[in-house]
Structure 1
Amino acid sequence: MINKRKLELYENLFRHLGPGAHTITVSAIGETMNCSERHARTLLKQMSERGWLCWKPARGRGLKGSLTCLLEPLQACYNEVDIATEQGKYDVAHKLIGFNDRNVASALKQYLTHATIESENTVHAPFHRKLSWLHPHYAMERTERHLIHEVFQTLVTSSEKKFTGELAHSWNHCQYYRSWTFYLRTGVVFHDQTPLSAFDVVDVVESLQALATSPYWSRLYDHIDSSVQTPPIK
């Protein structure tokens, strides 16, 4: 994981040289980044591995090599923030976005605008605190409950005593209303594009039953004896 200081050093180098190819000595690079020649070589290698620049050293001490800055410093920052957020290292992303004394709030807004343009199907929602586990039985804060309502779907939903199918397109019951069968909609997928199956529904119901240890939640599942998956209708 890259740190904020390396981004700052790269921006200093970019400001000094600009984009395009340049001939320069390692000593001059070290002076620009305020470090020794040895450390400058290490930084050049690391920045090259990140795809920020291309460095072709000359053979012989004191000779000029070829240095090409490939990315704008801000784009290099965005790439690193993408990696940090994908790994769940949001504290690192927060530090990176404010490199070289940038205003974090303003820089974050600019990054989110950039990210939205890059991926129109992705929603970024910065929040002032760390969100708790988005599990129906554990989330108690209003924000988490709202997100759960937006993210999770149920088999059916009710409004003004009228039931409407969500994951289930239809359902029926036995003569004594003790056995219910739900027919799932086709083409339903999870966030990672894994198709939804009856096995997933049964697994969720059984998991909720197992986790419902408090009287408040257990009363929602006490009436369920068992859940089974039936073969699909052909």
Structure 2
Amino acid sequence: MRRLVRHGLAGAGAATFAVVAGVTALAGPATTTLAAPAVTTVPQSVVAPQDPAVDAQRGAAAERENRDAERTRIATAVVAAAEQRETNLDTQSTAIDQSSKAIKKAKAKAAAEAKAKAAAAEKKRRAAIKAQGYEVGVTDPREMARQILDNKFGYGSDQFSCFDWIIKHESGWNVHAENASSGAYGLPQSLPGSKMASVASDWRDNPATQIIWGAQYMKSRYGSPCGAKSHWESAGNY
């Protein structure tokens, strides 16, 4: 009896344990086992070992490239400078040509003006000579007087002879003859010589001016050169 009870209790305990274990297994949370994440492996760059010879070649190539680039730059600069110099020379040449043409034109104009001025002066001189009564080119005072007396006063050879006689006695046909004591001057020995300025301002050196004044004086005072000669012969002067 007691053995049956002990066997029964042992069986009941085992059953109880089995039930409890089952309940515990049913009631407990389910445990999920997670797989480890996949790891992606990035391939590493393969670094080649440095080769001094290759580095030297690369350095030399880079240096050559730099030299070539510098030579190209210098050559370009030289060409540009040459072109600029050529442009400057062309500009200077054009300016010089223009200046030369302007100078030549100015010289030609000045020469033309000088020529015209000289021609006008010569024309005026010839007109003045003609107005004084003698031909251009006559330089001998006696021939000058002959023409002046003929053309300007209408005197013939007789009056010229009288005029010639007086002038010979007064000054010997010396345009610059001057009387030391009285100051009488010139061919007709005008006293004072400045009286002859009534004819022209060049009375000191121009024989025509002196001849005209002398002929006018003889005509106004004695009527003619021959009248003046007659007075001179009687009085010793006129």
Q: Which has the higher helix share?
A: 2
Same fold? TM cut 0.5:
no
TM-score, structure 1 as length reference: 0.20
Q: Which has the higher strand share?
A: 1
TM-score, structure 2 as length reference: 0.20
